[in-house]
Amino acid sequence: MKRRNLVAGTSSFAAVSPLAALLLVAALLGSSIDAAFAQEDKKTDDDKPADPDTGESTVEETTLGLLPNPFQKYGIKFAATYIGETLGNVSGGLKQSAVYEGRLNLAIDADLQKLFGLQQLTFHANMFQIHGEGLSRSNLQNFMVVSGIEALPSTRLYEAWFEKKWGDSKASLKLGQLAADSEFFNTKYTSALTNASMGWPAITSVDLPSGGPSPPLAALGARLLVNVNDNLTVLGAIFDGNQAGPGPDDPQQRDRYGVNFRINDPPLLLGQIEYAWHNKKGDPNLAGMVKLGGWRHFGDFPDQRFAVNGVSLANPAAAGMPAMLSGSAGVWGIFEQQLYRVPQSDDRGIGVFVRVSSTQPDRNLIDFYADGGMEFRGLNDQRPNDKIAVAAGYSHVSSHARALDADFQQLFGASWPLRSFEGLITAVYQYEIRAGWTLQPNFQYLVHPGGGATNPLGSNPGRLLKDAAVFGLRTVLKF
C-alpha cells in the first residue's frame, strides 16, 4: 500500500522537464558504451526481469507448467503469477478483523534480438489485477504495511520498459516505466517475507511522493547499470518524482490504471554502489555483499512542524498550510552475508541481512529506518526449496514531527501522546507444495502502529493505537 504523501503540490517545469532531458542524456550515454567491455564470467542472474511477487526471474522461473508458451522459441515468453492471502489482526490497531486480498500479475518478456535481430535488446511489461481489502489501510494505519500486495482494487499497468545490454551484461540501460525496489535498497534474503517494508522500506514509501517507484505504482525513468568487474557494480536511475501527480487524495486513485506516464514533475535520482564477494556460481566460499546508496528528490516537501508564517502547526495562529522546503535527500547501507551453505549448492543455506537508512527530519515523517533478519533456505534435502525467515524492522518518527506533538501537548495537556517509533517483528515459513506453488503462514507483531499515535492533524487527534498482532496465510501460484 502506498502511504498518502502530505506534499500539497509540486512545481512543473515550464519548458523541457529535467526527466525528459536526462532520459535523452542517458540514452546518449548508453549508446557511447563500447561493446568491447567483454566480461568472462557473469556474476549472477540478478539482472533478469524480476517478478514483483516473488523476486524470481520471469524468464527463468519455476512454474506449474500450465501456461502455454508457444512463441518462446521465437523470443516471446508469457508469465502469470497469482497471490492470494488472508490476514487478520487479533489485537491492536484501530479495530480487529480479517481481510482477503489478491493480485494477479501478467507479464510478457520479448527478446528483440531473436525477433528482429536487434542486438541484446529486450522488452518487459506486466500488469496487475488487484482485488480485496488491505489490512493496514482499514485496520492498522501503520507505516510498515503488513502486505507487499496491499493496494486499492484496480486493473493497472505496472512496468513497461526496454533494456539494452553491452558486452556480456557488462552494462545495461533501461528506459520506460520502471520500479526501483527490484534493484535499489534491496536484499535477496527478504524474498519470503510478506511485509511490504521488507521489500521497499517504509522510509521511502512514507517519505517520497506517491510512495516512490514501487508496487503498485512504477514511474517513467531510466536506469544505467555498469558491472565494473566481477565484484563491483554501479547503478543509477532517474525517475519522474511523482508518478501519480500532485493532489490531496490517494496516489493510487490519481493514477488508477498506471497509465499517467508523467514526465513533468521534479525528478527523483537514485544511486547505488555494490561490492560482492564469492558471488560467482560454483564458488565454494560463503557469498556476501555490501551496498551503499541514496536518493535526491528535487520537489518541495512540507515542514513537519512549522506553518508558512513560521509558527507551529499546532498553534491556533498558524496559517494552516505547512511551510514548504526545497528538496529531500537520504542515504542507505545494506549488508548481507551467507553464514552456511549446503554442500553442492549455491543458494541453499543460512543468510543474514541488515539495512539502515537516514534522511532529513525537518521535511520527512520518518527520519531513520533499520531492519535486519535471517533466512534459512533448503536446509532439508527433502525440502530443498522451503524457506524460513525471521526479521525485525524499526521506523523512527522524525524529531520535527515529535516536536509538533509536544506543541499539541502544551495546548491540550499531558495526555496528548508523543509519537516515537514503529517496530516490527515478523516470521514466515514458505512451504513448496510443488514446483510453482507455495504456501506461506506468517506472523507479524507491530509495536506502536503509526509511531505510537495517529496523525495529530487527522480525524482522531490524540488517539493512541495499540500494539497489533497479525496472522496471515498466503499462497503463490506461478502458472
Interval 277-310: pLDDT, tens: 999 888 889 999 999 999 999 999 999 999 999 9
pLDDT digits (tens, 9 = 90+) for 87-141: 999 999 989 999 999 999 999 999 999 999 999 999 999 999 999 999 999 999 9
Per domain, the residue ranges of the chain are: 18-32+75-478
Class (C level, CATH) for 18-32+75-478: mainly beta
Residue 372: CB atoms within 10 A of its CB come to: 18
- pLDDT score of 44: 42
- pLDDT score of 421: 97
Q: Which three cell numbers stand for residue 63?
A: 512454474
3-state secondary structure of 317: coil
pLDDT at 356 over 50: yes
Contacts of residue 115, defined as CB under 8 A and 6 or more positions apart, other chains included, come to 74, 75, 76
How far, in Å, CA of 160 to CA of 182, rounded? 14
Contact, 156 vs 171, CB < 8 A? Answer: no
What values do phi and psi take at 328, rounded to 5?
Answer: -155, 145
Instruction: Work out the pLDDT band at 455, boundaries 50, 70, 90.
Output: low
Mean pLDDT, residues 322-328? 97
Rounded to 10 degrees, the C-alpha dihedral 306/310/312/315 comes to -140
Mean pLDDT, residues 357-378? 98
Instruction: Work out the pLDDT band at 13, boundaries 50, 70, 90.
Output: very low
- How many percent of the chain have pLDDT more than 90? 77
pTM of the model: 0.88
Q: Which of 339, 403, 393, 343 is nearest to 368 (CA)?
A: 393
Per the prediction, the chain carries an average pLDDT of: 89
- pLDDT score of 168: 83
pLDDT digits (tens, 9 = 90+) for 202-255: 999 999 999 999 999 999 999 999 999 999 999 999 999 999 999 888 999 999
